[in-house]
Structure 1
């Protein structure tokens, strides 16, 4: 038979915490230049406010956290403090709490949420939440968050996503602008760059360049947006890119990144005909890349809306139904 002592033991620790008569260690969160003379050691935590630290102390002494009393912004501050103090159990708990209960608040205050999540290396779940939200709603995020201000880790996570809902040429534009922001001495005109300038930019973007789906671009996008920066790309990659637009007989290599997944409503209401098929049919209609072996690597081409004329589960599967359309 076992007896649960934790609740009573925790209460005893809380009583010790609230008793200020005997102590020999002071943890300073706001310095007032005073001490009682009895302190043997002082631990300074200048990044944590007294109010937040009091909440942390109640957790340390008694395992008590009252979330209902906290504003969401305060919850983020507690999370940052827990991360600084390496209280991983508390870090995991608060991340889960925010993601399960405060999604709307975090979306409304996305810039703050994103900034805090990527300031702390251990907030991996919150970082994933931010990356997934940016990938799903890039246009919405761009109204409150400048992509050029993203930490490199955040940018890399975002452009690595297969579900990023952004045209690849815009992804490339954002990456270039981000690189220019990191190198204030470079002009926006690559024609004026020296060999050293290209090397600087290549080093800056070394973790981003392999994640760009260059083969998804149209020939016009390649010519206008990529060709001026060809010295940033490996020569073999650039030659294969160039060949994919000029020679329909060239076979793609095995390591080409495929186009990102697109979530587009109202193109077609079908459970069989997916967007890849719609894109292929649209290319046939407009005679675009119909002979190229690289057509499957190109970004989805969706200039038309398609109307579903017959659904077997609704209209039946007989040939007569089809021929009466």
Structure 2
């Protein structure tokens, strides 16, 4: 454990967190010194935080520690630093995202309301380039809440059968007792996987798969599904008119859908739509683009 010395007056003045800590019984005093322990913060990150509190600057390469640094800065109520670090992450290139995307997405899934800019960034990455994360070696370490957050996205540029396939692989990776050859599995092993993926099943849009995808990828694993869903899927692909008991989720949206769903319209297109309503499309005037 590394020991740092700092001036309590400066810490109080620059951080509400330290001001509250020094004003309470959280910090023990020995002689003229306050003893402040933070076992959950690495010495590298604490050194960066102290440097920022004293000088208002961030020095050195922070890419490898930026997620922990962001969390600690937020805990210590250093909100200007929080804004700066969020912008740094947003500006990082794809190489950083490929290496750290899973860790970032995992982190944000537990702090959705704390870092809205990064939440939007993660959702955009997952909706546009989900394979940046899914193809990562770190994907199988993604925790339940992070994966659930991803699967619940309406905008996700992946085929539903690919989402299902990767959910199965993730579930197997989460259980060290399960081997990858499912043909050799016992009932007990299927029950373990069924329990692992149970919370995700209702968010998979099975009814949007093709009959071939269902037959090849879902039907052989139908014992992992709730009985009612299993029967409804079989009925749906054999008798399409069959009335289903299961709630059918709509298809996921594409990026084009996202554009049209936007509540922001330029004046040009607002004028065009208004003119259509008032006069009909055949009398459409010409509009020039304003800069």
Which is greater in Rg?
1
Residue 178 (structure 2) aligned to one of 178, 186, 198: 186
1:249 aligned onto 2:237:
no
- Decide whether aligned partners of structure 1 residues 214 and 106 sit closer, same or farther in structure 2, where only a CA change above 3 A counts: same
Residue 118 (structure 1) aligned to one of 99, 106, 115: 106
Alpha-carbon distance in structure 2 between the residues aligned to 1:214 and 1:225: 11
Q: Write out aligned runs for 1:46-57 (5 A).
A: 46-50=39-43, 52-57=45-50
**Structure 1 unaligned blocks of 5 or more:** 1-10, 18-24, 26-36, 266-270, 272-311, 319-325
**Structure 2 unaligned blocks of 5 or more:** 1-6, 14-20, 22-29, 261-275, 284-291
Deviation of the 1:130 alpha carbon = 2.3
With structure 1 as the length reference, what TM-score do the two structures score?
0.59
1:172 aligned onto 2:164:
yes
Cα contact 1:190–1:229 (8 A) shared by 2: no
Deviation of the 1:197 alpha carbon = 1.5
Paired residues, number:
236
Aligned to 1:278: none
Residue 104 (structure 1) aligned to one of 62, 81, 91: 91
SS of structure 2 residue aligned to 1:109:
helix
Alpha-carbon distance in structure 1 between the residues aligned to 2:9 and 2:40: 25
Alpha-carbon distance in structure 2 between the residues aligned to 1:199 and 1:15: 54
- Decide whether aligned partners of structure 1 residues 189 and 55 sit closer, same or farther in structure 2, where only a CA change above 3 A counts: closer
Deviation of the 1:127 alpha carbon = 4.7
Moved more, 184-193 or 234-243: 184-193
Residue 14 (structure 1) aligned to one of 10, 13, 19: 10
Deviation of the 1:229 alpha carbon = 1.2
- Decide whether aligned partners of structure 1 residues 177 and 189 sit closer, same or farther in structure 2, where only a CA change above 3 A counts: same
Alpha-carbon distance in structure 1 between the residues aligned to 2:184 and 2:42: 50
- Decide whether aligned partners of structure 1 residues 163 and 190 sit closer, same or farther in structure 2, where only a CA change above 3 A counts: same
Deviation of the 1:209 alpha carbon = 1.4
- Decide whether aligned partners of structure 1 residues 70 and 76 sit closer, same or farther in structure 2, where only a CA change above 3 A counts: farther
Aligned to 2:273: none
Alpha-carbon distance in structure 2 between the residues aligned to 1:99 and 1:15: 23
Greater helix share, structure number: 2
- Decide whether aligned partners of structure 1 residues 93 and 178 sit closer, same or farther in structure 2, where only a CA change above 3 A counts: farther
RMSD over aligned CA atoms reads: 3.8
Aligned to 1:138: 130
- Decide whether aligned partners of structure 1 residues 183 and 51 sit closer, same or farther in structure 2, where only a CA change above 3 A counts: closer
Aligned to 2:211: 219
Alpha-carbon distance in structure 2 between the residues aligned to 1:101 and 1:16: 27
- Decide whether aligned partners of structure 1 residues 145 and 65 sit closer, same or farther in structure 2, where only a CA change above 3 A counts: farther
1:163 aligned onto 2:152:
no
- Decide whether aligned partners of structure 1 residues 50 and 194 sit closer, same or farther in structure 2, where only a CA change above 3 A counts: closer
Deviation of the 1:194 alpha carbon = 2.2
Deviation of the 1:158 alpha carbon = 0.7
Alpha-carbon distance in structure 1 between the residues aligned to 2:12 and 2:142: 45
